[in-house]
Amino acid sequence: MAQPEILYTETCYNTIDDRINYFSQWNDENAVIERMEVLINRFENNVSDNPEIYSRCRELSEFGITDIRQFSADGFRVLYEYNETLNKITVLLLLSDKQDLQKTLVDYCLIYK
């Protein structure tokens, strides 16, 4: 089986920028960016070999959304969707483990409407 195509949504890019801006308040911005790059590379390497390696996002499953999966590492969560028919991974969000998913989504809609 060919490796899946990995696409990043605008929302994902915005949430990555939000995390960089937030953590850069206390850390060197270049170090924060490098941390994000390492996280994303790790995610891509893992899902390229097995797109369904990670479990479904429990928080979203409670609302009946069962096709979103969650990768967690280094204090962050990457939410993504895998389309087996198209062999495509769509990366939706990057959050810190401490962020409330529901509140973050509502805030995002208000900020980026």
Contact 36, 16 (CB under 8 A): yes
What is the pLDDT confidence band of residue 2, given thresholds at 50, 70 and 90?
Answer: confident
Task: Please tell me the pTM assigned to this model.
Answer: 0.91
Q: Is the Cα torsion angle 86, 51, 7, 93 positive or negative in sign?
A: positive
Which one-letter DSSP state was computed for residue 55? P
Residue 113 reports pLDDT greater than 70 = no
Over the stretch 69-94, which tens digit does the pLDDT of each residue have?
A: 999 999 999 999 999 999 999 999 99
Q: 5-112 adopts what CATH topology?
A: YaeB-like fold (3.30.2310)
Over the stretch 47-61, which tens digit does the pLDDT of each residue have?
A: 999 999 999 999 988
The bridge status of strand 88-96 relative to strand 5-8 is: parallel
Phi, psi dihedral angles at 80 (to 5 degrees): -145, 165
